[in-house]
Amino acid sequence: MALHQRQEDLAFLLKMVSAKPMGGAAANVNTDRELVLSGLPHCFASSKDARHAFQTEFASLARGYLEKLEHTAAEQVAAADTNEAEAKQELDTALAEIIQINNGLEASNADVAEKKVEHEKAHDLLKNAQRQMKDAETELDVIKDQMDTIRADSAKACSALEGPFLMLKEGGWGDEEMLDGCVQAITDHFEERGKVEPTLLAATPVALRTQPSERGDFDNFVIESLTNIFNEDAESAAARLAQGAPDEAQASAEARGFWALAEVLCSRAQESAAVLAEAEKASNDAGSSHENAKRKATECETLLASRSNKKVGRVSYRDHVSSALASYERLMLDEYVEEVPVAPAAEASTPVEEAASDDVHVKDAQVVDVVAAKTADVEADALRSSELGA
């Protein structure tokens, strides 16, 4: 049992020495490692009391090498702790940033919803004003058409009265051609006007062609009747224009008012559209920032996992170095105890006891062979130990 434990300690010690030092320790101890590795199997091949000076010297060199590894491993664990803490802090900061940006995103989305409602209201008000403006303009057009018709009829009557009719009434035509043209104009006017007695309309050309001095009572009656019709038409037109003027002015004012209102509401709708677009851009920017923050948090989580795994490797390596030093101490003290049954004390050595003593030396010599056989697998196991900190 003791021999087996001794062999295991030496094999483990060889593994740690054979393994490539982790991290920055390689440059510092690589030369010592090769030297220690070459002599380590022989340092503990003999019992403590039978060791030679060179064995003790190599053992001391091995201890120094292991202490360097232990110091470097402790530094690497401390650095791994710092790196892990920094990664945790970065992750906490990234998660806090996500919360902050998410709050901003929610506020931006709420602002977009509010601005959208405001824009829809402004758009509805504009559409209503435009509809009212269109109705007012339609009503104004109807009134204007009516008033324009009255003005046109009045102007036409005044033109006929003050032009050809007055000339014919006073007998001031110059020749027959002019007379014919003026008579035809007055006749056409009353035919278009309508509501003229047929007898009066039939007598009109004759009365108008007669000179004032040659007109009889009937001719004068016709002329007077025509004059009265012209005057009545003028008075009626004036009355209708006067009556329709307020309605025309009111309709015009309403049309202008709704036009002005539509212009104001159009400007407000454009402003609300611009505000909504700005709010939507802010929301989109916040959404992009939120996605970037989530990606950053994922990167921080990956970094933390990597550094935590690296720390596990560093701690494992440090513990292996500590275990190797413990193995070294046991090998140096050579306090491996073989559990044997207790025998009665005897004053003199027996041949069996002498044989047992010789067997101990044989077993000590066998350690070198056993360790040498095990070192064939040392590099493979050492590689695994090295990868713990990779």
Domain ranges (residues) in the chain: 2-108+288-387, 118-262
> How far apart, in whole angstroms, are the C-alpha atoms of residue 340 and residue 356?
12
> How far apart, in whole angstroms, are the C-alpha atoms of residue 326 and residue 320?
10
- Contacts within 8 Å (CB) and 24+ apart, 335-343: 336/2, 336/3, 336/5, 336/6, 337/2, 338/1, 338/2, 338/3, 339/1, 339/2
pLDDT at 365 over 60: no
Contact 337, 2 (CB under 8 A): yes
Q: Looking at mean pLDDT, say which of 38-47, 209-218, 308-317, 360-369 comes out highest.
A: 308-317
- Per mean pLDDT, which range of 50-54, 151-155, 167-171, 371-375 is the poorest? 371-375
User: Per residue in 261-270, pLDDT tens?
Assistant: 999 999 999 9
pTM of the model: 0.55
State the chain's mean pLDDT as an integer: 81
Query: Could you tell me the two tokens for 14?
Result: 């060889």
Contact 150, 241 (CB under 8 A): yes
Split at pLDDT 50, 70, 90, the class of 30 is low
| pLDDT score of 375 | 44
SS3 338: coil
Dihedral pair phi/psi, residue 350, rounded to 5°: -100, 165
Cα dihedral 255, 256, 261, 262 sign: positive
> How far apart, in whole angstroms, are the C-alpha atoms of residue 233 and residue 217?
24
- Average pLDDT of the segment spanning 211-222: 87
User: Per residue in 331-354, pLDDT tens?
Assistant: 888 877 665 555 554 444 433 333
